[in-house]
Every structure is written in structure tokens, then in C-alpha cells.
């Protein structure tokens, strides 16, 4: 029995919305060591968390410390596309082959939640609960990405779905995780993998990354399971996935934007965080 090639490509066209919604995202979750906490404390005290940078003749404020937090990932690390079930049909450039369809079942999907009472609604499924004790960090970085997976599968794996067609097609299960930090921050979904009969279709990262643009990173710092700080590298008003429209928290975002435009609020936020470290 021969094999047939499958290409599963997805990207939401958000150009009309003027934002980075539904594009690439990398999520890391891990434990902050005492050394990292001390480094953060000194950076805040010395006002050195953000430093002047130049990129393509443009000046901006950046942070090596926050960028390095993405490497703290012993609890969780995934890279994929922010999406929701209703938008899995979007393939802007029409790269996908027409010999498959998405299944309603999510293969190897995980719900990442924190061990609070408000998370009791996540009663079943593959649940990753972050420990309540100590300092942990959730890091989220936006990037340019066109989800692109391709591979060859035996033709006998094709099935007929008589509801839509009499033609045999491959049944593709999407691997979608839900990140739910709580504390007034919205949840979001990551499409990170696709499968046929439990076998993963390999992602082509060269075709996904395109120009390889990396955008801002945002970081939620937890102490004993409660968010105590929100830090980010953005030089503009904060946006997806934790923009004002989607976020109900009163925690100010310690970022270059806050430092430049609202210095008094920035200083209050820094001092509040230092008291908790």
C-alpha cells in the first residue's frame, strides 16, 4: 500500500484587524530559582531591567533578563499558533492539500491551569496544574508564524465521511492546548501539533517562520499560585493575548511603555513587586 502526502497549513488573516492576533506564540512555564529572583531584584533596584537598544536605526528599550525567562520551561514549553476551533479553517495562502479534514477530537491536548479553587471547572482531561508553592513564571512571546505540517501516510488510513462527501480523506486530529493563568487574565489556545491515527505530522519550521520576526514577550510572575507581577518587553500599549480588551486584572504591566509614558505608575509597580520578592 502506497503513501499519500498531507499538508496541513493554517494562519488567520488578521491584517484587517491591525493586530498580531492568531499568529505565532511560544509559551514557557517554569520555576524561578533564588538566583533568578535575586537578579530580578537587583535589576529593579538599579533601574536596569530595560536598556536602550537599536534595531534598523530605531531606538527602543529591551530586556535581556525577560528574554532569558523563555528558557525557564521545566513545567511546559510549546510553540505554535494562537487559535480557536472556529478559526481552524483559515489557510490564508491555501497551502493545504485537499485530502484531509479536521476531526472533532483533540489529540494529546492539555489544559494548563493553576491550582486555585477557580480552576475546579477543569475537572477532566489532560490537566497540567502548576505547583502552588514557590515562584513560577509564565512567559509568552509573539512571533510571525504560518503553521505548516507535512508528511506521507498510508492510503489505507483514509476514511469516508458520508456527511460531507463520498471521497475517502485523512482524519486529522489537532493538538490544541489551553493556557489558563486566571487572576483576571484571559485564556488562549495554542495549535501546536496535528496527528493522523495518533502519529504526528512533522512541522516544517523553515516554511513556518518566514521572515522569523519576533515581537514582544510578556511574563506573569506567580508566588504561591497567585499572580504578583506582570512584566513585558512591549514598547507600545499592550496587546494580545493580554491586552486591555481581554484583561480584567488591576496589576500594572511593568514594561518600557509604562516606564516611558507613566513613570509614576511604573515606580509604584516596581516598589510593590520588590516588597513581594
pLDDT at 31: 94
Q: Please indicate whether residue 271 or residue 189 has the higher confidence score (pLDDT).
A: 271
Q: pLDDT tens for residues 69-95?
A: 999 999 999 999 888 656 677 888 899
Q: What's the number of CA atoms in the CB half-sphere (13 Å) around residue 117?
A: 0
pLDDT higher than threshold 50 for residue 18: no
Binned at pLDDT 50, 70 and 90, residue 110 comes out as confident
- Rounded mean pLDDT of 30-48? 95
pLDDT band at 255 (very low <50, low <70, confident <90, very high): very high
- Residue 209 in this model has a pLDDT that exceeds 80: no
pLDDT at 229 over 90: yes
Tell which residue, 1, 27, 59, 5, has the closest CA to residue 170: 5
- pLDDT at residue 185 greater than cutoff 50: yes
Alpha helices in the chain (DSSP H): 34-45, 64-68, 205-209, 256-261, 263-276
Tell me which residue has cell 501539533.
Answer: 193
Question: What is the mean pLDDT of the segment spanning 4-12?
Answer: 89
Percent of the chain with pLDDT over 70: 82
Instruction: Give the list of residues 6+ apart from residue 87 with CB closer than 8 angstroms, or none.
Output: 12, 22
CA 185/CA 139 separation, integer angstroms: 13
Give residue-wise pLDDT tens across range 151-176: 999 898 888 765 666 678 899 999 88
pTM beyond 0.75 = yes
Q: How confident is the model at residue 17 (pLDDT cuts 50, 70, 90)?
A: very low
Which carries the bigger pLDDT value, residue 94 or residue 183? 94
Domain ranges in the chain?
A: 3-276
Amino acid at each position: 500500500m502506497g503513501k499519500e502526502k498531507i499538508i496541513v497549513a493554517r494562519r488567520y488573516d488578521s491584517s484587517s484587524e491591525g493586530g498580531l492576533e492568531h499568529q505565532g506564540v511560544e509559551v514557557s512555564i517554569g520555576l524561578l530559582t533564588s538566583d533568578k529572583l535575586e537578579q530580578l531584584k537587583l535589576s529593579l533596584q538599579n533601574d536596569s531591567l530595560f536598556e536602550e537598544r537599536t534595531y534598523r536605526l530605531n531606538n527602543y528599550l529591551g530586556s535581556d533578563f525577560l528574554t532569558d525567562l523563555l528558557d525557564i520551561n521545566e513545567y511546559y514549553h510549546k510553540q505554535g499558533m494562537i487559535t480557536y476551533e472556529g478559526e481552524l479553517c483559515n489557510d490564508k495562502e491555501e497551502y493545504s492539500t485537499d485530502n484531509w479534514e479536521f476531526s472533532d477530537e483533540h489529540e494529546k491536548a492539555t489544559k494548563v491551569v493553576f491550582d486555585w479553587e477557580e480552576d475546579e471547572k477543569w475537572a477532566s482531561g489532560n490537566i497540567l496544574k502548576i505547583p502552588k508553592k514557590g515562584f513560577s513564571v509564565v512567559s509568552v512571546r509573539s512571533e510571525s508564524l504560518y503553521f505548516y505540517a507535512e508528511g506521507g501516510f498510508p492510503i489505507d488510513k483514509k476514511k469516508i465521511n458520508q456527511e460531507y462527501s463520498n471521497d475517502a480523506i485523512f482524519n486529522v486530529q489537532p493538538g490544541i492546548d489551553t493556557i489558563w493563568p486566571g487572576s483576571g487574565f484571559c485564556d488562549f489556545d495554542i495549535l501546536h501539533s496535528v496527528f493522523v491515527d495518533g502519529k504526528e505530522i512533522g512541522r516544517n519550521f523553515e516554511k513556518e517562520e518566514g521572515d522569523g520576526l519576533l515581537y514582544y514577550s510578556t511574563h506573569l510572575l506567580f508566588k504561591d499560585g497567585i499572580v504578583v507581577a506582570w512584566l513585558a518587553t512591549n514598547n507600545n500599549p499592550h496587546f494580545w493575548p493580554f491586552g486591555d480588551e481581554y484583561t480584567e486584572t488591576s496589576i500594572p504591566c511593568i514594561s518600557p511603555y509604562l516606564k516611558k509614558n507613566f513613570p509614576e505608575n511604573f515606580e509604584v509597580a516596581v516598589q510593590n513587586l520588590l516588597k513581594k520578592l
